[in-house]
């Protein structure tokens, strides 16, 4: 057990009466998709069985979710900025699944202070058992006498987060945009929700949520806001309701100096007041377009509102698809509307990942591969058909880089990964995004776009509000096209090498891309292979930001890298380092570092101290380490408190630090 008061001893009190109620499966929704999903299987959001003790599919949880299933979660937290803690309680409504008496509930926790466990105000016997690395301390709660199948147990657990909570990022005023107020936000993917509240921390379990968050500053959460005028001294109660079942990793809250502005018919953007108008301008042109295309491609948006929270600069990801409120990196606010496709990606998660999700992180490609595919379909509908392959070409470069870094035979380069004993964060890369995309793109081309487009809504309706694995995806695909009545397609799908696609490491077969949008970028890169080429600032005049990126990536891939003099010439001619577009600055700085051009080190260091997005900082730190390891370590040490815990841990590994 961990010291410093972060883990408390179990209560020795026994309860007098256990609150167990019988509930019929139901949920309210006028959605035609929801209306068709009223079976226990659909409401359980995982494979439902009357057999005793279902075998859990997720190796990254310690919870006994084969015996108990979370139906509804109510979190009631107070935000304490001074202590940097959340204090309060979580009420879990758990349904017994087995036909034998269930006498114990096991929940996930990690570096979390558990204060008491009650049911109907009666103390229960509980204990935090020995830590299982890297998953935490399982919370065992006794249910003397047990519960019969279908019974619902309500557990009221008092908790306080600790200084070691990895699911929350606390920021001092100095770390925020306007430097006036503190800030906190959560990041629970993949298995970090357990550091905020005890839960069945697996994507194989989904529950509805109620949020009751008290804070002195405005709050957003992954639910629809409910008006509340309740005051607690200088604090205000903010309430949210999430009626669509979600897994624990989509639990989200943020509190800080936030203001909102409309960016669409169903959308607002929230961010610091100093950045609000820039964020509004960046997003308002495309938000409704993205939604309209997605709804035509799949079916109606199921979540009511779609909003965007633009976070402070330290945020680790391009975006986090928290329902109702996507949490987005400020690097999308580049002043040129060239990086807003991140929002198309996060919006696509409203169907892929959030509505239909992977059963475990071993099948993460089902979330990200589908989402990347949908994002590119949205981009093609708005910007023209060649945009689909153009984006895929950029993604292929990212896939090649990830495979080269990890190793072409490594387990983490497979589509289905063995995650037993693994922290899912350690396997995170572009591979599930891009290799997953290419599998779907392969299926799309195999059966034909016209036919694949009929499969898309079928798939999402079939699995809406549920979780699945790759094998269930395979069966859904085969069932659909075997019943399709097209013999030619049936012959084609009979030849799909499923095992090879699922389990072969390394790169998948490379398709013949439509290079319409990329040819001019590569042609310019070819000119740079000539040592006497004299560039002109007008070289990039007709390029979009993504075309500039393709050009820079092509230069990165030269078999003979630019020397320092030529790298400086590229930088001075095109002046990319002065751009607000972090994607382009990073690509250029990687060229400079690879060339050994130390004149750009100050720019690299400044960028690493102002951006926390792992897509940028990890490759920059790795390259900086090769040029000047001492400077890389010094830069990390000076900025490590700026980075979220996830980023900090990954960077420490990249730099070979303990």
Structure tokens at 102: 């269930």
Residue 551 to residue 499: CA distance in whole angstroms: 36
Token match 């909570």: residue? 165
d(CA 112, CA 79): 15
What count of Cα atoms within 13 Å lies in the side-chain half-sphere of residue 631? 20
Which contiguous run of DSSP H or E holds residue 3? Answer: none
Instruction: Quote the tokens at residue 636.
Output: 């990390």
Please give, one letter per residue, the 3-state secondary structure of 180-221. Answer: CCCEEEECCCCCCHHHCCCECCCCCCCEEEEEEEEECCCEEE
Strands 139-147 and 224-226: unpaired
With contact defined as beta carbons under 8 Å apart, do 213 and 254 qualify? Answer: no
E-strand stretches of 372-494:
466-468
185, 254 contact by CB (below 8 A):
yes
Q: Is 193 left (phi over 0), alpha (psi -120 to 50) or beta?
A: alpha
Alpha helices (H) in 230-362, listed in sequence order = 276-284, 287-297, 341-348
Q: Would you please indicate which residues are annotated as catalytic (active-site) residues?
A: 346, 433
Question: In this structure, how many other beta carbons lie within 10 angstroms of the beta carbon of residue 140?
Answer: 18
Annotated binding-site positions for Zn(2+) = 345, 349, 368
Residue 528 backbone dihedrals phi, psi, to 5 degrees: -70, -10
14 backbone dihedrals φ, ψ, rounded to 5°: -105, 155
CA distance 43 to 350: 18
Which single residue is written with the structure tokens 């990954």?
650
Three-state SS at 641: coil
Between helix 365-383 and helix 431-447 the angle, nearest 10°, is: 60
Residues in the chain: 658
Rounded CA gap, 221 and 240, in Å? Answer: 7
Q: Are 378 and 350 in contact (CB under 8 A)?
A: no
Q: Who's near 238: CB < 8 A, 6+ residues apart? A: 211, 212, 213, 214, 215, 218, 219, 221, 225, 228
| Token pair of 134 as six digits | 């890297």
Q: Is the dihedral of CA 312, 319, 522, 598 positive or negative?
A: positive
Q: Which run of H or of E encompasses 78? A: strand 68-80
Can you read off the two tokens belonging to residue 632?
Answer: 């890389």
- Burial label for 647, CB within 10 Å (0-12, 13-18, 19+), is buried
């Amino acid at each position: 057990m961990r010291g410093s008061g972060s883990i408390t001893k179990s209560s020795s009190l026994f309860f007098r009466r256990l609150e167990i109620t019988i509930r019929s499966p139901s949920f309210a929704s006028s959605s035609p998709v929801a209306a068709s999903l009223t079976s226990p299987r659909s409401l359980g959001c995982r494979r439902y069985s009357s057999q005793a003790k279902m075998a859990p599919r997720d190796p990254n949880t310690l919870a006994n979710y084969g015996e108990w299933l979370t139906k509804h979660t109510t979190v009631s937290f107070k935000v304490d900025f001074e202590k940097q803690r959340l204090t309060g309680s979580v009420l879990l409504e758990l349904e017994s699944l087995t036909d034998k008496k269930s006498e114990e509930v096991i929940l996930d926790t990690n570096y979390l202070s558990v204060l008491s466990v009650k049911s109907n105000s009666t103390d229960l016997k509980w204990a935090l058992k020995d830590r299982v690395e890297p998953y935490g301390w399982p919370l065992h709660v006794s249910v003397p006498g047990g519960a019969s199948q279908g019974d619902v147990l309500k557990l009221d657990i008092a908790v306080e987060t600790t200084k070691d909570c990895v699911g929350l990022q606390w920021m001092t005023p100095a770390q925020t945009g306007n430097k006036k107020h503190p800030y906190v936000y959560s990041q629970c993917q993949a298995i970090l929700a357990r550091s905020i509240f005890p839960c069945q921390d697996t994507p194989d379990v989904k529950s509805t949520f109620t949020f009751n968050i008290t804070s002195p500053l405005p709050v957003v959460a992954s639910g629809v806001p409910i008006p509340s005028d309740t005051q607690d001294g200088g604090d205000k109660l903010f309430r949210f309701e999430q009626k669509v079942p979600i897994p624990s990793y989509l639990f989200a809250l943020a509190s800080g100096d936030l203001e909102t502005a409309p960016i669409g018919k169903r959308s607002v953007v929230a961010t610091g007041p100093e950045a609000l108008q820039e964020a509004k301008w960046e997003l308002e042109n495309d938000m409704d377009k993205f939604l309209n295309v997605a709804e035509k491609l799949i079916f109606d948006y199921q979540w009511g509102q779609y909003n965007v929270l633009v976070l402070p600069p330290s945020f680790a990801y391009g975006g986090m698809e928290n329902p109702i409120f996507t949490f987005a990196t400020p690097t999308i606010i580049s002043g040129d509307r060239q990086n807003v496709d991140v929002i198309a990606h996060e919006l696509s998660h409203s169907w892929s990942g959030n509505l239909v999700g992977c059963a475990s992180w071993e099948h993460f490609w089902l979330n990200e591969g589908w989402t990347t595919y949908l994002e590119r379909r949205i981009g093609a509908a708005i910007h023209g058909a060649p945009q689909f392959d153009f984006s895929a070409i950029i993604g292929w470069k990212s896939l090649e880089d990830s495979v080269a870094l990890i190793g072409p035979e490594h387990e983490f380069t497979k589509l289905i990964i063995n995650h037993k004993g693994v922290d899912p964060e350690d396997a995170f890369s572009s591979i599930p995004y891009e290799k997953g995309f290419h599998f779907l793109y392969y299926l799309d081309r195999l059966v034909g776009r016209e036919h694949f487009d009929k499969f898309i809504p079928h798939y999402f309706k079939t699995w809406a509000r549920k979780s699945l694995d790759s094998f269930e995806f395979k069966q859904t695909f085969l069932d659909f096209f075997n019943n399709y009545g097209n013999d030619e397609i049936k012959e084609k799908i009979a030849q799909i090498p499923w095992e090879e696609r699922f389990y072969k490491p390394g790169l998948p077969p490379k398709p013949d891309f439509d290079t319409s949008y990329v040819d001019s970028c590569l042609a310019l890169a070819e000119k740079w292979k000539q040592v006497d080429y004299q560039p002109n600032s007008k070289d990039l005049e007709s390029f979009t930001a993504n075309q500039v990126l393709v050009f820079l990536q092509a230069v990165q891939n030269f078999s003979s890298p630019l020397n320092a003099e030529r790298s400086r010439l590229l930088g001075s001619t095109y002046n990319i380092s002065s751009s607000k577009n972090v994607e382009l600055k990073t690509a250029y700085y990687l060229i400079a570092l690879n060339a050994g051009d130390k004149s750009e080190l100050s720019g690299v260091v400044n960028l690493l101290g102002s951006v926390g997005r792992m897509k940028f900082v990890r490759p920059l730190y790795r390259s900086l380490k090769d040029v000047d390891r001492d400077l890389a370590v010094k830069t990390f040490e000076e900025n490590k408190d700026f980075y979220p815990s996830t980023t900090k841990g990954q960077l420490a590994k990249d730099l070979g630090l303990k």
